[in-house]
Structure 1
Amino acid sequence: MTGVRLIFFPDAGGSPSRLHPLPYSPDVEVLAVQYRGDRLPDRIAREVLSLGERPTVFFGHARGAPLAFETVRLLETTTPGPYSLVLLTNYQCPPSGPLRSPISVVTGSPKSAMDETWRAGTLGAFRLKVFADAEFSVNDYVAVVNHEIDRMARWVSTSRRYLTMF
């Protein structure tokens, strides 16, 4: 997984420090979005582009998931990626059109309408893990979230095209 970047989008009002229980490989560059009054995906996409091209996994927690999705949507219009998303959320996918990047959703909401919005949010591979909890945190699902991030990091580190991975 050498050269992979992992970018965290915490929940609205949350801070990147809430994500500390997730272990990371030393080969992965780990970054987190620190919200400063606005959470505009175009501003975040410009910051990501300024870091240079690198295979990137975007991890969105709760209300950070739609923001991660929108950021990747903007990035896909300017750079080929590869990108992938791991989302821990009970929120629906934004209706802005599908990505080419694969999406893995971990949710505590068994609502089929929510699931379908994320499934329709990608032309790439889609993976869904549903748990019985209505509300949950990263701390509750460290092993599951870390497994999904690891899967996506391995995919982006070896992929140069948007291939089916599941």
Structure 2
Amino acid sequence: MTAPEPHEGRHHALWLRRFHPAPDRALRLLCLPHAGGAASFFVPLSRALSADLDVLAVQYPGRQDRWREEGVESLDELARQIYASIAPLTDRPLALFGHSMGATLAFEVARLLEQRAGTVPAHLFVSGRRAPSRHCDEAVHRLGDEALLADVRLLSGTDSSILGDEEFLHLALPAFRADYKAIETYRYRPGPPLRCPITALTGDSDPKTTLDEVRSWSEHTAADFGMKVYPGGHFFLSGHQDAIFRDITGTLLTEHGGCAVRH
């Protein structure tokens, strides 16, 4: 197993956002957004958890302050670039949280951490996504602009007022399409299960996955597995923020001796 080379962390600032810096926290949480999402999706989570955790969010190319960059159309390539950017974060326990596309991406980053760096993540939280081994053929990225936007609207992951902004849509569509292509062309490669615990979160009426598909995340860890089901659809997170925040904090602090401050 080989750790990332020191120079591989040079894009740390490009990929990662800290909305509520907490450098003295003993535990870190890295958050990965959904397709079409941005790091700012996790501002509420960062605000709520910063008293206990050092929360960071990944900013994909092609949106917000990275809007001039082309989106990455390969989920494996996204995982490699994020892995390279988080080398400076592995000096203390690092948990991962991903929603929808971000869940599969977090899984692949966790695999790289374990296989290349020998670093076992503190925990992997996966939200709104079927297990990587449960493939489903999808090709929204091949559809026209209106059809793609209709899918984005259906999932309600992007502010409807933004979706009505033609200038924003012109800038954001390439990033939306790149994200959809990345997750829809992803294929799971069989390998050893992760050594870190996995907690899967899902909405009971999510049109993108079934409870059975979510439960299959248990096959991807040799450690503990837990599953929590909330009322709601694909973005059930928005209606249950307080409960989810408590679950994440409680799980991590319990697993790591309740120590929030780095000594």
Normalising by structure 1, report the TM-score: 0.82
Structure 2 CA distance, aligned partners of 1:128 and 1:134? Answer: 16
C-alpha distance after superposition, 1:48-104 (max 9, x if no partner): 113342101111011100000110111012133342111221333354432111011
Alignment pair present for 1:89 and 2:153: no
State whether residues 6 and 29 of structure 1, in contact with CA within 8 Å, keep that contact through their aligned partners in structure 2: yes
CA distance in 2, matches of 1:112, 1:20: 28
Question: 1:144 aligns to what?
Answer: 243
Distance (Å, rounded) in 1 between the aligned partners of 2:86 and 2:129: 25
Equivalent positions of 1:151-162 (< 5 A) are: 151-155=250-254, 157-158=256-257
Q: Is the 8 A contact 1:63 1:91 kept in 2?
A: no
Query: Does residue 102 of the first structure (1) align with residue 140 of the second (2)?
Result: no
Per-residue CA deviation, residues 1-20 of structure 1 (Å, 9 max, x unaligned), is 94111111011110121222
Structure 1 residues 82, 19: CA separation in 2 closer, same or farther (over 3 Å shift)?
closer
Counterpart residue identity of residue 127, structure 1: G
What SS does the aligned partner of 2:113 have?
helix
- The one-letter amino acid of 1:148's match is D
Please give the root-mean-square deviation of Cα atoms over the aligned residues, in Å: 2.4
AA partner of residue 18 (structure 1): F
Aligned equivalents of 1:27 and 1:123: distance in 2?
27
Residue of structure 2 in register with 1:26 after alignment: 51
- Structure 1 residues 54 and 156: alpha-carbon distance in aligned structure 2, compared to 1, 3 A threshold: farther
What secondary structure does 2:98 align onto? strand
User: Which residue does the alignment assign to 1:164?
Assistant: none
Q: Is the 8 A contact 2:34 2:102 kept in 1?
A: yes
Q: For 2:83, which of 45, 68, 79 is the aligned residue? A: 45
> What corresponds to 1:55 in structure 2?
93
1:12 equivalent in structure 2 = 35
Q: Which amino acid aligns with 1:139?
A: S
* Alpha-carbon separation, structure 1, partners of 2:255 and 2:81: 23
Tell me which of 64, 68, 73 is aligned to 2:102: 64
Aligned-pair identity (%): 33
Please, which runs of 5 or more residues in structure 1 have no aligned partner?
Answer: 160-166
Matched, 1:35 2:60: yes
Q: Secondary structure at the match of 1:123?
A: coil
8 Å contact from structure 1 (residues 82, 156) kept in 2: no
| Structure 1 counterpart of 2:60, one-letter code | Y
- How many residues end up aligned between the 2 structures? 159
Letter in 2 for 1:4: L
Change (3 A) 1:28 1:69: same
Higher helix share: 2
Q: Which moved more, 1:15-24 or 1:67-76?
A: 15-24
Gaps in structure 2 of 5+ consecutive residues:
1-23, 62-70, 134-187, 259-263
**CA contact under 8 A between 1:90 and 1:109: conserved in structure 2?**
no
Residues 155/93 of structure 1: CA separation in 2 closer, same or farther (3 Å cut): farther
